[in-house]
Amino acid sequence: MTTETEINIVEKALLFATNAHTGQEDHGGAPYILHPIRVMLDVKKGGGTPLMQAAALLHDVVEDTDVTLNVIYEEFGLAVGRMVYYLTQAKGEETHREYIERLANDEESTSIKLCDLADNMDPERPTSAFGLQTRYAKTNWRLRFGTWETK
């Protein structure tokens, strides 16, 4: 059963992410916040907890805005902060591959990332380059099958 506190954390995350992504657009010119909302809805549809839904809404905040991971922990607690940590690549400190290997250690974050990748690979959603689609597909393969090899 979902508690009022859990519902409130999703609403709080939606407001926080909307504010953080204000003025940002995706490659097609749509408000960027629509991407985290779609990811959250997919997480919810897949049975994700309200804490996972909150993390889905916040999954790009640290990478794409001035908000720090410490702020996420302070505002949303350890569980959501942990998932956002796993969902955030430490730019300049780890390669994409290292990031995905770290992420793969957390089941909830992996589930969120798979929803993120599905939205990013949606053919109806414009992306910046074919190379990005290839990277998403390889990451999807690694998280689903536990290997980078496709043979």
Smallest Cα–Cα separation from 88: which of 52, 53, 64, 66?
64
pLDDT per position as a tens digit, 51-65: 999 999 999 999 999
Which two three-digit tokens encode residue 142? 């690694």
**For residues 141 and 151, what is the distance between their CA atoms, to the nearest angstrom?**
11
Active-site annotation holds for 108? no
Contact 39, 21 (CB under 8 A): no
pLDDT band at 143 (very low <50, low <70, confident <90, very high): confident
- pLDDT at res. 150: 67
Domains of the chain (ranges, CATH numbers): 4-145 (1.10.3210.10)
Contact 36, 59 (CB under 8 A): yes
Contact 142, 104 (CB under 8 A): yes
Asked whether the predicted pLDDT for residue 81 surpasses 80, the reply is: yes
pLDDT band at 139 (very low <50, low <70, confident <90, very high): confident
Active-site annotation holds for 106? no
Which two three-digit tokens encode residue 96? 């994409």
Q: Which residue's structure tokens are 């657009």?
A: 25
Residues in Cβ contact with 35 at an 8 Å cutoff, skipping those fewer than 6 apart: 26, 60, 119, 120, 125
- Which of helix, strand or coil describes residue 25? strand
Catalytic residue among 26, 64, 75, 106: 64
Catalytic residue among 63, 94, 98, 122: 63
pLDDT band at 127 (very low <50, low <70, confident <90, very high): low
User: Which residues sit opposite 25 in a β-bridge?
Assistant: 31
**Phi, then psi, of 25 in degrees rounded to 5:** -125, 155
